[in-house]
Amino acid sequence: MGEELFVSRELTPVGGFTEGIEGPACDRDGNLYAVNYDHQGTIGRVTPEGEASVFLELPEGSVGNGIRFNLEGEMFVADYTGHNVLRVDMGTRAVAVHCHEPRMNQPNDIAIASNGTIFASDPSWSDSTGQIWRVDVDGTVELLESGMGTTNGIEVGPEDRVLYVNESVQRRIWAYDLGPDGEMSNKRLLIEFEDYGLDGMRCDVAGNLYVTRWGKGEVVKLSPGGELLARVALAGKNCTNLTFGGPDGRTCYVTVADRGNIEVFRADLPGRDWWLWQMAAERELKAE
């Protein structure tokens, strides 16, 4: 009898994180990180067994949102109060400013290409507009698009050829072709929802897109063409983001704001981020 897929359960206790829980990302060892554990301004670490603790305190005035790792194992954090993307040395836990951009409303979610280029969503919640930024490896910032709806979830496809960006209030997901220099083109509407909101997104290795439906308590799985493939019902309603991890990359962790905890379910395919970790590890072994 096979394992049960797309059925959520609680991983961490309700209330362990604040309502600002966001930005889940796994390191190579399978530890999960999310912002605002215990109190605002922290990054929490959750072991594969579900034991949570404060990993670090961000600098005063900074509050994290999206988290991503590059292939070298450095952590990047969208600091929405400081208009920064922060870089964390995982060995020393030292926090540095990777980029600072006063023109940003607030860097919200971030996605990272395999070459280390970061893409950041930048919503303005007060007037339901948004922007997209690119942050190059050296910290150079470039505005890619403005005049959008409330840009929120953002993700790069498995071969760095597609960028997905959603607009929470307008309930739309856009797809762009990505060039080798990180330029966007051929903008097209992937799907538009009739109700509730949209938040964080992640791709699996086949390019299927997992999307958190804020207010509905649901994660949906979409094909690369925008077809609805699966729904995952959650205990909480205000799901903010998700990531893949676990020994085989098929464990999906979901951050839930109204319950201040993390839920988990099993997927049928590994996540893109996990697969990139494996490819990097194989290259390192061959180089030794």
Percentage of the chain beyond pLDDT 70 is: 100
The confidence score (pLDDT) of residue 279 equals 82
Burial of residue 114 (CB within 10 Å: 0-12, 13-18, 19+) is middle
Domains of the chain with CATH codes = 202-288 (2.40.10)
The confidence score (pLDDT) of residue 277 equals 84
Give 248-266 pLDDT, tens digit per residue: 999 999 999 999 999 999 9
The confidence score (pLDDT) of residue 159 equals 92
Percentage of the chain beyond pLDDT 90 is: 92
Question: Taking 70 as the threshold, does the pLDDT of residue 132 lie above it?
Answer: yes
| pTM, two decimal places | 0.97
The confidence score (pLDDT) of residue 259 equals 98
Q: Rounded CA gap, 113 and 160, in Å?
A: 6
**Angle CA(274)–CA(154)–CA(114) in degrees, nearest 5?**
45
Give 148-190 pLDDT, tens digit per residue: 999 999 999 999 999 999 999 999 999 999 998 999 999 999 9
Question: What pLDDT band is residue 4 in, cutting at 50, 70 and 90?
Answer: very high
Give 97-117 pLDDT, tens digit per residue: 999 999 999 999 999 999 999
Q: How many CA atoms lie within 13 A of 104 on its CB side?
A: 27
138 C-beta neighbours (distance < 10 Å), count: 8
Question: Taking 70 as the threshold, does the pLDDT of residue 1 lie above it?
Answer: no
Nearest Cα to Cα of residue 75 among 60, 56, 61, 50? 56
The confidence score (pLDDT) of residue 122 equals 98
245 or 2, which is more confident: 245
Nearest Cα to Cα of residue 272 among 211, 208, 222, 203? 203
Nearest Cα to Cα of residue 210 among 226, 228, 222, 197? 222
The confidence score (pLDDT) of residue 50 equals 87
Q: Is the CB of residue 235 less than 8 Å from the CB of residue 260?
A: no
227 Cβ neighbours under 8 A, 6+ residues apart: none
SS3 for the chain is: CCCCCCCCEECCCCCCEEEEEEEEEECCCCCEEEEEECCCCEEEEECCCCCEEEEEECCCCCCEEEEEECCCCCEEEEECCCCEEEEECCCCCCEEEEEECCCCCCCCCEEECCCCCEEEEEEECCCCEEEEEEECCCCCEEEEEEEECCEEEEEECCCCCEEEEEECCCCEEEEEEECCCCCEEEEEEEEECCCCCCCCEEEECCCCEEEEECCCCEEEEECCCCCEEEEEECCCCCEEEEEEECCCCCEEEEEECCCCEEEEEECCCCEHHHHHHHHHHHHHHHHC
Structure tokens at 264: 């988990």
Q: Is the CB of residue 207 less than 8 Å from the CB of residue 198?
A: no
The pLDDT mean for the chain works out to 96
Least confident interval from 10-14, 31-35, 46-50: 46-50
Question: Taking 90 as the threshold, does the pLDDT of residue 2 lie above it?
Answer: no
